[in-house]
Structure 1
Amino acid sequence: MAQDTQHQPDLKQPLQAEDVFALEHANDVQISPDGKYIAYIRNSFDIMTDGTRKGLWLIDTATGQHTPLFADKHSYGNPTWSPDGKRLAFTSNRSGRNQINVFWVDEQRVAPVTEVTNSPSQMAWSQDGEQLAFMMAVEEPKSDFARSVHTPKKPEKAKWGKPPLIVERTLYQRDGRGVVKSSYNQVFVVPSHGGSARQITDGPFQHRGPLVWAADDQHIVFSGNRTENWEYQTRESDLWAVKLADNSLQQLTDLPGDEYSATLSPNGEHLAFLHGDNEPVPYRNSTLHRLNWESGALTAIKTDLDRSLESPQWIDNQRLTVQYTDRGLTKVAEVNLEGELHDRVSTLGGTYVSRPYTSGMYSVAPATGAIAFTHATPYDLANVAMAVDGETQQLTDLNSEVLGYRELGEVREMTYESSFDGTEIQAWYILPPGYEAGKTYPTIVEIHGGPHASYGPVFGIEHQRYAAEGYVVLYANYRGSTSYGKEFANLLDGFYSSERDFADHMSGLDELIEMGIADADNLYIAGGSAGGIATAYAVGLTDRFNAAAATNPVINWVSKTLTADSSVGQIQNQFPAMPWEDLAHYWKRSPLSLVGNVTTPTLLFTGELDRRTPMAETEQFYQALQLRNVDTVMVRVPDAYHGVTAKPSRIVAKVEHALAWFKRYRKE
């Protein structure tokens, strides 16, 4: 089994920019109900297509045998085990578009199940294994207005421009997709041996999974908001059951807020689910509840944990597993119906390649209680691991041929008090390979997005690449970050960005200077999304940094909230009023309000198709800095959305542009 090798003497050179193309990681790790097999998606990059390959692999948990079921030019996903563990459903584009397929493990054969027009997802087997439920987007008919617009007939062979797009919905756009058609996720069922798929929900509502079959195989549970004004109710959804016999609906829950992520106990008596309230604040915890299937009685499974719970899964009728993130570590815990909780696994992660975000997933085998999960370290991406009876075994070693021959920067943890109000901040810093104690190094403060997200002691190629070029890299879970409880996450409510989160980062930087690690004459700042906002705000408050690199930032909160795909939810939960009702607040939080103070050379890096922090935000800051004769450069990434590093070449481009910019202003 691979060991952490960052300090072994046979390592030859630091991490190279091109190494990103050779990295792999595991995701969607699914253990069979009997614990005999683990299926997972193996993600790798294709240097020729600049895309991601997704293969489907199988591990025999008894022997460790590791087999590629499908590892070709096609893409595979959503592995889902049948109740008896003998069949594996998955999606694949082998036929030209995504369809559901089923693999028989013993017979080693595969057969297509669906022939549908859009991509299926959220698959769920019926209890008897005879049917598969899934979700799929269904387009709504044109409105009366759209139908009434006269369109002249185009002459044969005429070349006209593209027709206009008619937009009538409130939520009309989505980052990664642009302006979207009026389509809604609906529930379907199909025989598990193949056949015609039947739609069993309808209406202009956005339903979501996971889908859950009742014990009688006559009802399917899903989550959704089926009220007329659902697009304005961004934090409302209930659990519903649809009856297969006549497609009739029964509303199962009606709590204020979201009910979602349902899962059925083995005896079929209780649905466990998550709930988040509808308080208009930027962050709320998700809590665990259960519903009696027969009586409809609701019970909160209360824990003393001030953390948000995810992915509940039953072990038996008295115990569940849940996932949560605590102080930068993603964990799986066991919880009983009285709310007593204890940790089982604490090393989930590694599914986010570019930066060290907390991430990861798990699945549990009810027959054995074994947990399969994505296992991460500070020096590698996600591998498949399994925890049984308190013992963890790593089953794959996907990057040994790459990272085993690279000297990575050492990751160290630190805590300190913010100069703003004494709040404790947890952070990590990476030392450059070959670090010599007593010598100071140029230092980059790198800020995570969200802000309701978190970094952790896990591998991120961007940070290690900075370290490989001789920089110390500081990354902190500043106030507003998740994994420290509800109060900490809401410390930026009404103050994002502000002097508060700015102080959280500067205090860490001052600590590294005092420790004799950071070179006070060579300081840099960078961040993406919420981190890009914080970067742009910081250079309006200080001139301590030699240079800055802000990726897809918000510059003007008025224009952002009125043009971005997150407008409704963000205005409702982050701001005290509509922009025209409290312009002063929006302006106070905007980096553009401080642009008159900026002297720091600033690089701006944004996808041209970004709909979360639209390109016009970057353009406003660039043009304002140009008007003030401040050194600045705007890097526009064609065909890229907010996930600007979705392609491996763009991970490289983002880091290498920042490194070149910082080098220009580095003092010898």
Structure 2
Amino acid sequence: MKKLMTAEDLTKIVSVSHPVYSPDGKKAVFTKVTVNDKKDDYNIHLWVRDEETEELSQWTFEEGKHYQPVWSKDSRQLAFILQKPKEAPQLALIQCEGGGVRTLTAIPYGVSHPVFSLDGAFIYAAVSLKPSESVHDEKKEERDEFAPAVYDDLTYKADGRGFLDGRFTQIILVNVHSGEIEAVTSGQHHHVNHTLSPCGKWLAYIQSNPQKPYISDVCLRSLEDGTTKKITQSSGAYSTVSFAPNGESLVYIGHEREFQNATFPALWLYDLKEGNVVQLSEMLDMYVGNCMAGDSFMGEANQLPQWTKDSQGFYALVSDQGSTGIYYFSVEGLAYPVRLEAEHITNFSLHPDESKMLLSRLSPVSPSELCEMTLGEADLKQITFEHDEFLKEHVLSVPEPFSFQSKEGVEVHGWFMKPSEMEEGKTYPLILEIHGGPHAMYGYTYFHEFQMLAAEGYAIVYINPHGSHGYGQMFTDHVRGSYGGVDYEDVMQAVDHVLKAYDFLDETRLGVTGGSYGGFMTNWIVGQTDRFRAAVTQRSISNWISFYGISDIGYYFTRWQIEGDIYDSADKLWDRSPLKYVKQVNTPLLILHSDEDYRCPVDQAEQLFVALKELGKDTRLVKFPKASHDLSRSGHPGQRIQRLTFIKDWFREKLK
């Protein structure tokens, strides 16, 4: 007899990620992320596939995280980042003929993003340093825990990193043989996502000033004379850069902030000889990259475009209509889908002979697995089978896509999940799930929270309301300045739609939950209607006026998204704040929040909780110590299970 999905089953999910073919095409490395035996952290190990025998073998075994693998040009060395438990991440190396893991650095501030020189004798990497610190320091300076912290900059904290201490990401060069290190960049800018030109003469990277949010530049540094030039004009936000094999051009991903942080990333082609730039994806009203919301995948997020050998085009991820797949783009600006199915591709690697790809793939009924795709063929060949037994022994609810016309006459896309087990003639409660962002996308991916709730006997509805990615730039931008307007109408209309379509739903037992923007929407909904019998708000926003000053992004996010500030439009911010409507809340509300969430700080939860409690409302506050805004996706495994359990128990109690 099959089992029902539980919160604890989260620990059985493996993230299979980051496939990278060796330059000679004989091997491919990939990573596996698993929950460790103590269930208090994650292990990441490197696995290698022999392309001739198709044999899979594990290459790292030590406790800790082994990630960001990169091959030398001759395919004889594999560099990666090794983070042992409670230690800073370091640069490590494996000789492919054997010899085990060799750690190359002992920098107390940690290392990331290895890139080999052409001859394999050096590795470019990144380190975060204060101006007073050096890569040659043997240990971090001990800080007096009672010493005052002094800040002069507007950006002084960041979610997941805490309060900042003046560090900037710099590029370094490490000698593979001697371990000697020299600095490549310096100054009060971050230098990230570096890549080397095929001729070895240029280093391209993204440069940003942390005091100018959403402003970054693509830079080219000459490795011959050390001069640097900016390709972009300090007016947009860019993330990724990749050289063509012939070295004559490069492609980079980003945007000119036409719609602030709601702007779709675009593809830009830069001619190194002529110095001119062309936007390749101008006619493609799609999101270039992966914007899928989920809770069951951990791994590399930065997917480089994969060039063809002739330098006439490349492959890149594209998200559209709830799917994330792969498109081919030519340097002339033509674009077509190579694979865009009802699935979630997180990253991929093109074989050197261009006959096939390895890709990491999730579906609505399977966490990530590695698959091989022969170009020109529709079928995939599954390479890993991490979840076969797990899926065979559990009952799964299969999401059913649907759409409806919004009140503005625009098609809105969503999914409905039936309870995992159903009895004839019985009615079931319905839970509305709302994603964060708001500029993210629900879609064809595995969502463990949804499967757990379906196993508890709930039907689930989730949609991509106005503001979501994946449905065109205007659809995404439409919510800015009107949170709680058309988006509220969309989610309520979705509830109406499924209640009408499925006669086994009990309209008197409705629940709602969401995180971040979805938490804001949950707070907003219970202040506008008594339609829901239970609600769970997670890492939410309740007060835009206080959010402006306490969030790491508050001062610009509020201006861009609510289109107001605390100086001249505080009334508008208050009018959009769920806290204003707290007297109207009659729905029992569970408030879940991370203590070290600097994106939507815990003050937002506490203000809401105090107001509800003072008014005698049915509410409970749960705080997760040492957790960030990213708790549900990559937080402490035990806390992720506890979070799911709190949600399950609240709905079980209130939706009887």
Q: TM-score, normalised on structure 2?
A: 0.91
Matched, 1:647 2:626: no
> Kindly tell me: are residues 455 and 438 of structure 1, through their superposed partners in 2, closer, same or farther at Cα, counting changes over 3 Å?
farther
The answer on 1:290 being equivalent to 2:273 is no
CA contact (8 A) 2:24 2:352 kept: yes
2:203 maps to 1:223: no
Q: Which residue of structure 2 lines up, in the alignment, with residue 275 of structure 1?
A: 254
C-alpha deviation, 1:369, in angstroms: 4.6
- Structure 1 position 27, deviation (Å): 1.8
SS of 1:620's equivalent in the other structure is helix
2:220 paired residue number = 241
Instruction: Give the conservation status (yes or no) of the 8 Å contact 1:441–1:519.
Output: yes
CA-CA distance at 1:308 after TM superposition = 2.2
* 1:312 alignment partner in structure 2: 305
The structural deviation recorded for 1:593 is 1.6
Matched, 1:138 2:126: no
**Inter-CA distance 82–370: structure 2 relative to 1 (3 Å threshold):** farther
- 1:604 corresponding residue in structure 2: 591
CA contact (8 A) 2:264 2:288 kept: yes
Deviates more, 1:427-436 or 1:627-636: 427-436
Deviation at 1:574, TM superposition (A): 2.1
Shift of 1:235: 2.7
1:13 aligned partner = 3
After TM superposition, the structure 1 = structure 2 runs for residues 542-561 of structure 1, keeping only pairs within 5 Å, are 542-561=529-548
Separation in structure 2 between the aligned mates of residue 102 and residue 367 of structure 1, nearest angstrom:
26
Superposition deviation, residue 199 in structure 1: 0.7
Are 1:555 and 1:621, in contact at CA under 8 Å, matched by a contact in 2?
yes
**1:263 aligns to what?**
242
SS of corresponding position for 2:557: helix
Q: Is the aligned partner of 1:181 residue 2:172?
A: no
1:214 aligned onto 2:197:
yes
**Distance of aligned partners of 1:71 and 1:381 in 2 relative to their CA distance in 1, 3 Å threshold:** farther
Q: Hey, what's the Cα distance between the residues in 2 that align with 1:57 and 1:35?
A: 16
Number of paired residues?
627
User: Contact conserved, 2:421 with 2:455, CA < 8 A, in 1?
Assistant: no
Q: How big is the shift at 1:216? A: 3.3
Q: Kindly provide the CA deviation profile for residues 283-303 of structure 1, in whole angstroms up to 9, marking residues without a partner as x.
A: 111211222223322223245
Matched, 1:23 2:13: yes
1:625 Cα deviation (Å)? Answer: 0.9
Q: 1:458 and 1:194, CA in 2 relative to 1: closer, same or farther beyond 3 A?
A: farther
State how far apart, in whole Å, the 1-side matches of 2:349 and 2:342 are. Answer: 12
Per the alignment, residue 414 of structure 1 pairs with 402
Q: Given that residues 281 and 490 in structure 1 are in contact (C-alpha distance below 8 angstroms), is that contact kept between their aligned partners in structure 2?
A: no
Corresponding position of 1:299 = 278
Q: Give the percent of matched residue pairs that are identical in Structure 1 and Structure 2.
A: 27
Please give the per-residue CA displacement for 1:512-554, whole angstroms capped at 9, x wherever unaligned.
1112142111110011111111000000111011110001110
Shift, 1:592, TM fit: 0.9
1:105-116 equivalences under 5 Å are 105-107=96-98, 109-116=100-107
Runs of 4+ in structure 1 deviating by more than 6 angstroms, as ranges, are none
Distance 2:427 2:577 in 1: 34
Distance 1:72 1:323 in 2: 32
582 and 45 in structure 1: CA distance in 2 versus 1, 3 angstrom threshold = same
CA deviations 1:382-418 (Å, max 9, x no partner) are: 1111212234211001112322211111221111123
Residue by residue over 1:95-120, the C-alpha shift from the partner in whole angstroms, topping out at 9 and shown as x without a partner, is 95322122222346443333323222
Structure 1 CA distance, aligned partners of 2:436 and 2:161?
20
CA offset at residue 660 of structure 1? 1.6
* SS class of match (2:260): coil
Show CA shifts across 1:457-480 (max 9, x none): 211111100000100011111111
Give, in whole Å, the separation in 2 of the partners of 1:389 and 1:280: 36
- Which residue type is aligned with residue 217 of structure 1? G
Alpha carbons of structure 1 residues 303 and 281: separation in structure 2 relative to 1, 3 Å: closer
Alignment map for 1:13-162 (pairs within 5 Å) = 13-94=3-84, 96-107=87-98, 109-141=100-132, 162=146
- Deviations 1:333-369 (Å, cap 9, x if unpaired)? 11111222222233697xxxxxxxx671222234325
Measured in 1, the distance between the counterparts of 2:25 and 2:323 equals 25
Partner of 1:394: 382
2:608 is matched with which residue?
Answer: 621
2:299 corresponding residue in structure 1: none
State the partner residue of 1:582: 569
Matched letter for residue 223 of structure 1: I
**Residue type matched to 1:291 in 2?**
Y
**2:630 partner SS:** coil
- Give the 3 Å change call, closer, same or farther, for CA 485–379 of structure 1 in structure 2: same
Does the CA-based 8 Å contact 1:321-1:334 persist in structure 2?
A: yes
Report what 1:510 is aligned to.
496
Give the match for residue 139 of structure 2: none
Q: Show the counterpart of 2:472.
A: 485
Aligned to 2:231: 252
Match among 304, 317, 324 for residue 323 of structure 1: 317
The letter for the 2-side match of 1:396 is T
How far off is 1:599 after superposition?
A: 0.6
Contact 2:322 2:342 in 1 (8 A): no
Tell me which residue corresponds to 1:340. 334
**Farther-moved stretch of structure 1 (67-76 vs 545-554):** 67-76
Cα separation, 2, equivalents of 1:177 and 1:231: 13
Q: Runs of 5+ in structure 2 lacking a partner?
A: 134-142, 290-303
Structure 1 stretch displaced more, 397-406 or 429-438: 429-438
Distance (Å, rounded) in 2 between the aligned partners of 1:433 and 1:348: 21
Work out which of the residue numbers 617, 634, 643 in structure 2 matches 1:630. Answer: 617
Q: Please list every run of 5 or more consecutive structure 1 residues that lacks an aligned counterpart in the other structure.
A: 1-10, 143-158, 350-357
Which deviates more from structure 2 when the two are superposed, residues 502-511 or residues 91-100? 91-100
Tell me how far apart the structure 1 counterparts of residues 39 and 644 of structure 2 sit (CA, whole Å).
Answer: 20
1:155 alignment partner in structure 2 = none
Question: Structure 1 residues 590 and 628, CA, compared in 2 at 3 Å: closer, same or farther?
Answer: same
Check whether the contact 1:54–1:71 (CA below 8 A) recurs between aligned residues. no
Query: CA–CA distance in 2 between the matches of 1:636 and 1:97?
Result: 28
> What is the rounded CA distance, in whole Å, between the counterparts of 2:336 and 2:425 in structure 1?
42
Q: Distance in 1 between matches of 2:528 and 2:23?
A: 55
- Counterpart of 2:298 in structure 1 is none
Q: Identify the match of residue 476 of structure 1 among 454, 463, 483.
A: 463
Whole-angstrom distance in 1 between the partners of 2:322 and 2:26 = 31
Measured after TM superposition, the shift of residue 178 of structure 1 is: 1.3
Partner of 2:292: none
Q: What is the identity, as a one-letter code, of the residue corresponding to 2:547?
A: K
Q: Does the residue aligned with 2:609 lie in a helix, a strand or coil?
A: helix
- Relative to structure 1, the CA distance from residue 369 to residue 83 in structure 2 (aligned partners, 3 Å threshold; closer, same or farther) is farther
Q: What's the counterpart of residue 363 of structure 1? A: 349
Q: What letter corresponds to residue 281 of structure 1 in structure 2? A: Q
Q: What is the distance in 2 between the residues matched to 1:620 and 1:91?
A: 41
Supply the distance in 1 between the matched residues of 2:588 and 2:202 (Cα, whole angstroms): 60
Corresponding position of 1:355: none
Q: After superposition, what is the alpha-carbon deviation per residue over 1:475-521, rounded to whole angstroms, capped at 9, x for unaligned?
A: 1111111111111111101011x132122111111111112142111
Aligned position for 1:156? none
Cα distance in 2 between the residues matched to 1:537 and 1:47:
40
Query: Does the CA-based 8 Å contact 2:342-2:444 persist in structure 1?
Result: no
Per-residue CA distance 1:230-249 (angstroms, 9 max, x = gap): 44432322222223345332
Please point out which of 383, 394, 397 is paired with 2:369.
Answer: 383
Structure 2 matches for 1:654-665, cutoff 5 A?
Answer: 654-665=643-654
For residues 386 and 35 of structure 1, do their structure 2 counterparts lie closer, same or farther at Cα, with a shift above 3 Å needed? farther
